[in-house]
């Protein structure tokens, strides 16, 4: 069985709970310490081979998340992973500390690589270290493909205390309005996702699986059982669906049918494997 999740921000579980219940775990939109309105519209654009988004981490903030969102999500009957964002190590640590006290939260995913907002000044490893000090919950680091040596980033966050990796986040792209020659998105560039991202994701997962012995949630262009099996072949232990959910919300059920799988348990029940030498490949 290949555990299936959603990529953060690609499914509103409160609007479509029947879709969320198809998953082995539901990943929330990124939550920040304070509410955020997000970027100005237009902030979504289709392209020939995928989609651009520039949402800008729109969310109600951690207080409202606890007051209204999390209690409703807990009724889904699947483990809840909370995506955490911020603009400093203090932001990440503060949200992780709040989530640590909640029995409804199974896993925390640190969004270390959103291309649509200003980044925290600290390195990914420093942000993971701050989160690690603030929580005992499983901590996954979501990394960007926009780096020459993502394996080195994986080693750094592993050394800082990450329990797993989410690979990959979107990569920056731009679409033009051909009638005006101007960018379609208000902020010009946005995060690119969809089928064209798959080869990049496979390369990143292969590199990271060869560098660290951590469970990996693979994502980027997954739309079929064959895609999911490809991700597992290069080292992923679970697969997340993103853009494909916008095209077909029943993608999880279809992939399960194609695999001949039935859900046997949530991905959060898997334990990270024992540590090994960083130079020992897994594939």
pLDDT of residue 263: 54
pLDDT of residue 118: 75
How far is 26 from 79, CA to CA, in rounded Å? 6
pLDDT of residue 271: 36
Residuewise pLDDT in 10s, the chain (283 residues) = 999 999 999 999 999 999 999 999 999 999 999 999 999 999 999 999 899 999 999 999 999 999 999 999 999 999 999 999 999 999 999 999 999 999 999 999 999 988 777 778 899 999 999 999 999 999 999 999 998 899 999 999 999 999 999 999 999 999 999 999 999 999 999 999 999 999 999 999 999 999 999 999 999 999 999 999 999 999 999 999 999 999 999 999 999 999 997 554 444 433 333 322 223 333 2
Catalytic residue among 10, 96, 114, 208: 114
114 annotated active-site: yes
pTM of the model: 0.91
**Complete domains list, the chain, with CATH:** 4-39+56-171+194-269 (3.20.20.70)
Is the Cβ–Cβ distance between 266 and 242 less than 8 Å?
Answer: no
Residue 107 is classified by DSSP as: E
Q: How far is CA 190 from CA 84, 110, 169, in A?
A: 19, 20, 12
């Amino acid at each position: 069985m290949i555990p299936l999740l959603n990529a953060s921000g690609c499914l509103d579980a409160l609007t479509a709970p029947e879709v969320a219940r198809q998953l082995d775990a539901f990943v929330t939109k990124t939550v920040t310490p304070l509410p955020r309105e997000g970027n100005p519209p237009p902030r979504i654009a289709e392209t020939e081979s995928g989609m651009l988004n520039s949402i800008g981490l729109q969310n109600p903030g951690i207080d409202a998340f606890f007051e209204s969102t999390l209690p409703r999500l807990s009724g889904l009957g699947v483990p809840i992973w909370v995506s955490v964002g911020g603009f400093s190590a203090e932001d990440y640590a503060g949200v992780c500390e709040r989530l640590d006290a909640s029995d409804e939260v199974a896993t925390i995913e640190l969004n270390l690589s959103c291309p649509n907002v200003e980044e925290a000044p600290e390195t990914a490893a420093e942000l993971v270290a701050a989160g690690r000090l603030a929580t005992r919950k499983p901590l996954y680091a979501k990394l960007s493909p926009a780096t020459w040596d993502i394996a080195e980033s994986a080693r750094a966050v592993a050394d800082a205390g990450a329990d797993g990796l989410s690979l990959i986040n979107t990569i920056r792209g731009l679409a033009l309005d051909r009638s005006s020659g101007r960018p379609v998105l208000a902020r010009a560039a946005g995060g690119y996702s969809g089928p064209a991202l798959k080869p990049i994701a496979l390369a990143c997962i292969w590199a990271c699986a060869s560098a660290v012995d951590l469970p990996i949630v693979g994502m980027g262009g997954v739309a079929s059982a064959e895609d999911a099996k490809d991700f597992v072949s290069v080292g992923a232990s679970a697969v997340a669906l993103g853009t494909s959910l916008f095209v077909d919300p029943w993608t999880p059920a279809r992939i399960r049918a194609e695999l001949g799988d039935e859900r046997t348990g949530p991905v959060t029940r898997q334990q990270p494997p024992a540590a090994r030498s960083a130079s020992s490949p897994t594939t």
